[in-house]
A and B are shown apart, each in its own frame.
Chain A
């Protein structure tokens, strides 16, 4: 197993290198570029622009810029932002905790609820409960975030004043209760959408398993329904869902641009969006590369999880 993981990690290195090259090229195809922020200001004259370009290193040929970036990746500091002058690692470190708290909470909440609803509606297929969950899933999945988020804000923050309207903390507060209050609305927003999809995945996977012979055998042995569903059916139904869960993990790092914007949540999603807006190349490259690496890692994690869930799967 250990050798397998090591082999997988090593073979993914050239893949990641290729991905970074591709990302670098695509990023440079975006119109505008870092100097666009200056070109609307009439006081910025061509000679000023040339100096800025030189200091930002943009006067170097593209392949040199890529090599410089690779060097900064290998030395681990990921370069400095073109605009804030800060180390990219420092910037990510200051936004990441907020994103992990928000995305992690909503991931756990929505997974727990989604899996539970999915299992229940498979077990009670075609009952009013199942129809209810299905209807909820379709509504939840179709809700436009930008509209629903604003509605939540207007109702619970502006009208009822039960909850704060944005940010991670009230000014001058650092407590856990204050954080939880700020989490309620964005987590609700994110969870409604993902509960909807988790429950659908879980339902269809569960339905497939429930009809298998071994489930009938388990029932025939006289096991109680809770054991049949919980031990025999659920565990097997999880295998395909685990893939989807694993592939959703990198999203926890990437944050949620829309939700973070609506709820003024200072997370990676907003850092990425702001950096994209001003073509802050080192920051964009860092976030995309870390995301790509996480996709690779979570694929490996998914494979490991298969083996744990299904003893027939072995990697030797």
Chain B
């Protein structure tokens, strides 16, 4: 029925004759049938595996949300909500109890079952911890799991996690529970010494989870299909089928959205924003992201070791203008390493510490002893004020941002040179510019988290090679606060700590937050209930609530 002219057209194209206008392809929502209950989601990258413990990619997180269950997850308002657990354990509701130097967290599990019908039990939660801690598992990170002393399972619905020390970000653990009965044999088998078969398990490409959807098929390079789990503990989802379509090219994704071949175009290209706004039948969700562009200062450089120079650079740069001119106003000015969405921890006062003020910047540089020379650039002790900025090459908006920053700094007498390198050369270990400290200013993005823990960025114990404190910042008070933050369970107390850190960072300016990213998620209007979620829970966090409007 559909596209009957196509085979003729192939001849027509080459022979140069024009075909007659064809019949319209059925939009995914039209005409009933299986497609009417299917949501097709664009994924730019193909996940390497559907095993969240060993994946290095964000694409995996999105792809496993519908099929896996966490103990606790995060909603679109950045609040912790119970998933497999009945409630979110806190100090206040006695779910968390301090014991000795450590603490015990108790989770009550809902009655849930694996997609093969077996019940999900406390023992599966314990198994998940064992998976992460097995040295032969290619776990991306054991951060947090290695703070656990023991996991007790007094009854099948109760889990008690004993931590060796106070570990405040405990709610971020157990993001996907693994089935012991299906994976234990693989975990114990080693393909070669020190390499568990868990890393190669067949389960990783056809997982049996406990989420709202069940794995159906994975056609490599093309799509992954899930179907509704009628035994889901929150009730059978209204959507029958979810398909992840792998579309590496953004122009193709645009075309498929327009043709109705995909319903959700995730993280659409900013360059397509204007055209997308004109596209009929779709809704554009502009969601602030947890990623933000920022400028790192390398404090190992004697010039940048002076806080006045760093503050001056921050004050010379106009975030609003960069936002408006380069990012179509979509990326909003950023002032902190914590997301403004994270209202519990965000400190709004940082916005007043170093706003755009080129005159003030000049004064600070004067005070620091950098005097204006005849050529318009500053000099101190005969040395010119010359710095380089490094970023990843090939990212157009970043390259433009650097040009603009160069002109802002020129206006206050700083000579900035641009030195862009391929991603691995910037981020690599051990020779990357950031890690090895061979940079002055670094322009790239960081991702903040619902949990405010930022010890790896700011503690003086986290200078490379130990951690990611690429700015080589050290401030004894921040050292103490970042440690205290991880050992304080009460949210109110923690908020005080992280707000204080943000103010200290604004004053010391080891890093200048530039712009918060905005994610464009474009959704066919037939989809109801899509609520973009900037956290690692991802846009599919509530896919069990989605519904499809029947278009007549």
Contact = CB atoms under 8 A, between A and B. Distances in A.
Contacts of B9: 156, 162-163, 184
Interface residues of A, number: 72
Contacts of A98: 221
B35 A172 contact: yes
Contact of B428 (A31, A86, A164, A171): A31
Given A32-B423, A42-B456, A266-B222, A85 B252 contact: no
Interface of B: 3, 5-7, 9-10, 13-14, 19, 21-22, 24-25, 34-35, 38, 40, 45-46, 48-49, 54, 56-57, 135-136, 138-143, 194-195, 199-201, 204-205, 219-223, 225, 243, 245-249, 251-252, 254-256, 258-259, 261, 422-425, 427-429, 431-432, 435, 446, 456-457, 465-468
A56 B7 contact: no
B136 A85 contact: no
Interface stretch (A45-53, A120-128, A205-213, A284-292): A45-53
Contact of B427 (A39, A86, A181): A39
Contact of B252 (A184, A264, A270): A264
A31 B422 contact: yes
A156 B13 CA distance: 11
Given A31-B424, A41-B56, A161-B24, A270 B429 contact: no
Contact of A188 (B10, B45, B456): B10
Contact of A55 (B21, B22, B194, B222): B194
A267 B222 CA distance: 9
A7 interface: no
Given A162-B9, A168-B222, A42 B251 contact: no
B140 A154 contact: no
A94 interface: yes
Interface of A: 30-33, 35-49, 51-52, 54-56, 80-81, 83-86, 91, 94-95, 98, 113, 150, 153-154, 156-158, 160-172, 177, 180-181, 183-184, 187-188, 191, 261-264, 266-267, 270-271, 274, 278
A37 B48 CA distance: 12
Contact of B249 (A46, A51, A154, A264): A264
Contacts of A39: 427-429, 432, 435
Would you list the 5 A-B pairs with minimal beta carbon distance, nearest first? Answer: A266-B221, A32-B424, A85-B200, A37-B56, A43-B141
Contact of B261 (A81, A85, A164): A164
Nearest to A163: B6
A28 B162 CA distance: 44
Contact of B425 (A31, A45, A56, A169): A31
Contact of B34 (A37, A46, A172): A172
B144 to A, nearest CB: 8
B425 A171 contact: no
Nearest to A81: B48
A187 B10 contact: yes
Contact of A263 (B13, B54, B252, B423): B252
A169 B19 CA distance: 23
Given A84-B48, A165-B261, A187-B10, A38 B5 contact: no
A179 to B, nearest CB: 11
A188 to B, nearest CB: 6
A161 B259 contact: yes
B137 to A, nearest CB: 8
A129 to B, nearest CB: 13
Given A41-B140, A162-B9, A188-B14, A171 B38 contact: yes
B7 A177 contact: yes
A83 B49 contact: yes
Contact of A167 (B222, B457, B467): B222
B249 A261 contact: yes
A162 B140 contact: no
A32 B46 CA distance: 20
Contacts of A164: 3, 25, 259, 261
A162 B141 contact: no
A45 B466 CA distance: 8
B313 to A, nearest CB: 24
A158 B259 contact: yes
Contacts of B35: 171-172
Nearest to B34: A172
A10 to B, nearest CB: 33
A86 B218 CA distance: 13
B167 to A, nearest CB: 14
A308 B520 CA distance: 60
Contacts of B422: 31-32
A262 B251 contact: yes
